[in-house]
Amino acid sequence: MPSNSFKPIYDFQQYLNIRTATGATFSPKADKIAFLTDITGVYQVWCLDEPGRWPEQLTFYKDRVTFVKWSPTEDLLVFGKDAGGNEKDQIYLLTADGSIIVPLTEQPEAIHRFGGWSHDGQWIAYASNQRHKAFFDIYIQNVKTKETRCVYQGDGTYYAVAWSPDDKHLLLGIYNSNFDQDLYALELATQKVFASLTDAKGLRIHLTPHKGSVRYTSPAWAPDGRGIYLITDQTFSPNFSSKLFFSKEKFDQKKHRRSSIIRNTKDLNKKKRRGIFSDRERDFLNLAYLDLNHQNLTYLEDTSWDVENVLISPNGRLMVYTTNVDGYSKLTIKELNSGKVLTSPELPPGIIDVSGISQNGDKILLSYTNPCHNGDIWLYKSYTNELTQVTHSSREGIPQDSFVEPKLIRYETFDGRDIPAFFYLPHGTKKTGEAPVIVNIHGGPEAQALPTFSSVFQYFIHRGFALFIPNVRGSTGYGKKYSHLDDVRLRMNAVKDIAYGVEWLKSSGYIDSQKISVMGGSYGGFMTLASLVTYPDLWAAGVDLVGIANFLTFLKNTAAYRRHLRISEYGDPEKDADFLREISPINHVDKIKAPLLVIQGANDPRVPKSEADQIVEAIRQRNGIVEYLLFDDEGHGLAKLENRITAYTTIADFLDKYLKTGGKKAS
């Protein structure tokens, strides 16, 4: 048989056996690399000492490992792991040969969020909600003795960011909302490192006083300890000083039971830096330097795209950061002192995450993926411009040229705005108006659909479905104003954006208007249900993965630590109760005409199982068409390979039934 007459058919297990490597970290001498990969079907810690060699597996759990970070001084690592997708990470100490694993946190009902190693390699910092489920306090722990101290206690969503270069101070952050953060400097000792805090004066340094909602992300201490590099959308106006100032706040015994401060800054930066200040509203996240001595903020970039991540080499030679340009990553490498831009590695357009820099900046660790490249670790040598692929994750025999790259399109919505979207078409699709399509809505809503590799998407395309993935209003990546266009009472405008996207699909010439489905997870699950009840005649089928059906019960039952963050986005269940009832799909379920598949994890702390139960029961009571797939060992999403195979094969068969073979809608 001629080779060009044979089109291979790959099953979904083959696609899900496509592996990914991510989250890499250097050993102290940068001669070894630890990372996470799902070779076994779920992310575990692996290690290698030379690019291209077969790595050694260090952890062997049934549940996923969520992060790994090497000690800065010796062959020890810490990693995090939850149980059954419950997101209650515990932190463990691991020897580099994998022979010894020591649990550092043993509070299975609490969440632990890693905040970094001290530079002497003796301590780690983390945030935990073990005192109160709604609040995160800051702890430090000696990894050898397991001595643990709560160094900051506050009623808020605090997180540890990084230790100062001399290990005397800890940079803390707090989420006031998803679009509003603050940074604080916490003094850990007076006479010696980690001395008792019982004599603390109850003061702290507030580094980022501001008005309105401002984000401060990816903060990193300058190697000399005199300032902090960060990413922010801080706005300066005639009514607000462009200089940040230190505010010494009196100790509130009820709100902040343990606290201390940087007592003075006269020993800090002696070199004045010129600030770049603007009176216009700053819509995008840009790179800045916070001078701790002169108390001013200097913008180092002024772009109309978000800067996303910044790392500084420990010796202060290099700064490395990425910029989100229409969803694609632009990597920038600069000499810190001169500002000279160095040559960056050449990779096809995609997503780049900088996960590590060696001590002198000569080696940079990257995670890279795009729609046709499953995620892998790469090593870039900045002195010689050498780029090496460190891991070679399996594609299970599926040829890379069978994968589909999306087109980035824009369509006009109801108010004249342009909505960006990624449009995938199976190879050989012609403008005959016959292709079935899945409209996939991302979660968040403070998130962005990105051109990453998705074995699920590529499988659907292989099965003959087109994919349309819009970044409707409320998405991040397109400016702060765009992200706020769906806040609270503007929520349903984002659903209207989806309907206008369907009109674009119909006019494209590729899509059969009777074969359009909608699918989404988490907030995208709400958007799926909202689309089904608001525009019932547009859809041939819907798939809701861990979606919100009832905002009042969701806000009541979601994990306590998340509630205030979700209220700021969706609305207050007391003040906005009538509105939240109005937009909740559960109250309009009688309008749903399309068959619905609901998928849920029983251990989901974000969107509890009760949301799925409600919508399924309501449709069944009305004799609608609904299928329900519940996984007892999963949480917010599907982590285990066998469950993913079951779920996504079910989705594809469900969509085949109602989009390709003419399954019936509800009457």
Residue 343, domain member (yes or no): no
Residue 667, domain member (yes or no): no
Phi, psi of 619, rounded to the nearest 5 degrees:
-70, -40
Task: Categorize the per-residue pLDDT at 572 as very low, low, confident or very high, splitting at 50, 70 and 90.
Answer: confident
CATH number at 454 reads 3.40.50.1820
Lowest mean pLDDT among 115-119, 234-238, 456-460: 234-238
Phi, psi of 483, rounded to the nearest 5 degrees:
-65, -25
Which one has a higher pLDDT value, 551 or 36?
A: 36
Q: What is the pLDDT of residues 132-160, one digit of tens each?
A: 998 999 999 999 999 999 999 988 999 99
Q: Residues with Cβ < 8 Å from 299, sequence gap 6 or more?
A: 275, 276, 277, 278, 286, 287, 288
Residue 516, domain member (yes or no): yes
Write b or e for each residue in 168-201: b if 16 or more Cβ atoms lie within 10 A of its Cβ, otherwise e: bbbbbbbbebbbbbbbbbbbbeeeeebeebeebe
Residue-number span of the structural domain to which 634 is assigned: 400-660
Contact 159, 136 (CB under 8 A): yes
Residue 201: pLDDT over 50: no
Share of the chain above pLDDT 70, in %: 89
Q: What is the pLDDT of residues 607-632, one digit of tens each?
A: 889 999 999 999 999 999 999 999 99
Q: What is the pLDDT of residues 43-58, one digit of tens each?
A: 999 999 877 788 999 9
Residue 547, domain member (yes or no): yes
Q: What is the pLDDT of residues 73-87, one digit of tens each?
A: 999 999 999 998 888
Q: How many domains does the chain have?
A: 1
Instruction: Indicate the residue type of 614.
Output: Q
Residue 564: pLDDT over 80: no
What pLDDT is attached to residue 549? Answer: 94
The CA distance from 503 to 525, in Å, is: 21
Residue 490, domain member (yes or no): yes
Residue 452, domain member (yes or no): yes
Residue 554, domain member (yes or no): yes
The overall pTM is greater than 0.85? yes
Residue 505, domain member (yes or no): yes
